[in-house]
Amino acid sequence: GTGTAAFYALVDTGAVSSSTVSTRLSEGVERDIFTVSYRPTERGTEKRYKLTLLGRRIYDWAEKTEFERQVRKLRRLRHERDTSFEQLIGKLNRDMEIRKMVADSNPLEGEDVDLPEGASLVPKAPSEEELREAKFERMEESLEPIADDQGEESSE
């Protein structure tokens, strides 16, 4: 905005690498967006950057259009996407390791296995009818006998 800023102050406020900041500052000086001044410090001379009139107009436009806020929002969404993707990859890798451990824990390679006719090593999923019957059996098992008023169980 207003005033001057040193290179490292600009690097600290941005979400890009120091080489990117350096490149953009050089381009900005070439295009008359920044002016460079030098200030003596305890460690030597510090290079300071200040917006020119053109730079100030660009800055004002960016503020007016909420450009910076939109860029921050975009970076946050990218970070969330990247994080979600990394979590997904982690879960896939974990699941693949679990499958490998299960497969390695009881290998049948090189062994002769006698299976009854029609049998398979892969468990067969129950049919809809079998699932329905199992459900009714569970429901009947959970029923308690109904007692009449005198404490005797009914014959139903």
Q: What is the pLDDT of residues 13-67, one digit of tens each?
A: 777 788 998 999 999 999 999 999 998 888 888 899 999 999 999 888 888 888 7
As for how many domains the chain has, the answer is 2
Residues 44 and 20 reside in one and the same domain? yes
pLDDT at 109: 60
Q: Is residue 87 part of a domain?
A: yes
Residue range of the domain that includes 93? 66-105
pLDDT at 25: 92
pLDDT of 85 over the 70 cut: yes
Residues 43 and 75 reside in one and the same domain? no
Closest C-alpha among 22, 38, 39, 40 to residue 30? 22
Q: What is the mean pLDDT of the chain?
A: 80
Q: Does 110 or 12 have the greater pLDDT score?
A: 12
Look up residue 95 and give its two tokens. Answer: 């699941």
Residues 37 and 70 reside in one and the same domain? no
Q: What is the CA radius of gyration of the chain?
A: 36
pLDDT at 28: 93
Residues 75 and 40 reside in one and the same domain? no
Long-range contacts formed by 47-51: CB under 8 A, 24+ apart? 47/6, 47/7, 48/4, 48/5, 48/6, 49/4, 49/5, 49/6, 49/7, 49/10, 49/25, 50/3, 50/4, 50/5, 51/1, 51/2
- Asked which of 6-10, 36-40, 65-69, 138-142 is least confident by mean pLDDT, the reply is 138-142
**First and final CA of the chain: distance in angstroms?**
87
In percent, how much of the chain has pLDDT > 90? Answer: 17
Q: Environment class of residue 34 by beta-carbon count within 10 Å: exposed (0-12), middle (13-18) or buried (19+)?
A: buried
Q: Are 19 and 6 in contact (CB under 8 A)?
A: no
Residues 9 and 46 reside in one and the same domain? yes
Closest C-alpha among 57, 64, 62, 70 to residue 31? 57
- Asked which of 20-24, 44-48, 70-74, 101-105 is least confident by mean pLDDT, the reply is 101-105
Phi, psi at 15, each rounded to 5°? -110, 30
Q: Is residue 23 part of a domain?
A: yes
Provide the whole-model pTM. Answer: 0.42
Q: Does 144 or 45 have the greater pLDDT score?
A: 45
Residues 8 and 44 reside in one and the same domain? yes
Residues 19 and 46 reside in one and the same domain? yes
pLDDT of 1 over the 70 cut: no
